[in-house]
Amino acid sequence: MRIRAYTYIDRSVARVGNQWVERSWAAFDGRTASLAVKPAQFDWITGKSTEFRIQTSTGAFGIPELSHIEWSEENSPEGATLILKRTGDTMQLTTRSFVYHELPAMLRSHTLINLSREVIVVERMTTDSLAIDQPGVRVRTDLFEKTSESKVWETEERAAAIEYQTMGFFIGQEKGGRYELFDPDPGSCSVLAPASFTLGPGDILHLPRLYIVFYGGPWQEASRTVFAEVLADLRKAG
């Protein structure tokens, strides 16, 4: 029997998932509470995730600054999408988290709007940050061939991989970017936008899409199959 991807929202939690994976957030502040691999009954998240961070020329924006939250959901023939809109005095960030019906993978997209009457220069933006502090976690970079316990990596490559025992996930974004993989924060795995950008009053910016693709067993097989399928789908979608 086919189990379709799903979303769920109530006063305490919002989640999106399918038969393989599920990510959930605290409904009141939009902070990741769980990133679960269902077949293994394993949760990657071990603490409070930063989630995102926007550093501008005049200050920083995070969960406290974009504190007004609205959740919504969509379903399509391809999968299910959970939508989180965060609004502050001068900025609005909308994040769409999509999970396929048929693949153990999640796509995430961010849209940033300047609500102020001033030009905002975004110097640095963390687009996803996961609180992971599992002993024995390994990082794979450089076409997944190099392993380390932690790494800061700026690259045009499409992804890094995080592994624990016999399971792992590819994490990356279109056009590459900066990865802070348990360095400088040993309890956090973060992806940053590939460049700085300027937003005039009312400007809308669509950031490169992110993806998290889960696997069990050898990364080589997952790279040739499910990861390649996700990348092909992104190219097709344009």
pLDDT value of position 52:
95
Helix (H) or strand (E) holding 24: strand 21-26
Residues in the chain: 238
Average pLDDT, the chain: 95
Range of the domain at 42: 6-237
> Phi/psi at 99 (nearest 5 deg)?
-125, 135
Say which CATH number the domain at 198 has: 2.70.98.60
| CA separation for the pair 10, 23 (Å, rounded) | 15
Q: Is residue 177 part of a domain?
A: yes
pLDDT value of position 238:
72
Q: Is residue 12 part of a domain?
A: yes
Which tokens in the block code for residue 10? 């109530």
pLDDT value of position 1:
57
Q: Is 175 left (phi over 0), alpha (psi -120 to 50) or beta?
A: left
Domain count, the chain: 1
pTM higher than 0.85 = yes
Residue 194 pLDDT > 60, yes or no? yes
pLDDT value of position 134:
86
Residue 154 pLDDT > 80, yes or no? yes
Which residues pair with residue 214 across a beta bridge?
A: 169
Q: Is residue 1 part of a domain?
A: no
Q: Where are the alpha helices (DSSP H) in the chain?
A: 219-222, 228-237
Q: Is residue 195 part of a domain?
A: yes
pLDDT in tens, 54-70: 999 889 999 999 999 99
pLDDT value of position 103:
96
pLDDT value of position 80:
98
- Mean pLDDT over 142-157 rounds to 96
Q: Is residue 138 part of a domain?
A: yes
- State the Cα angle at 100 between 128 and 226, rounded to 5°: 85
Q: Is residue 38 part of a domain?
A: yes
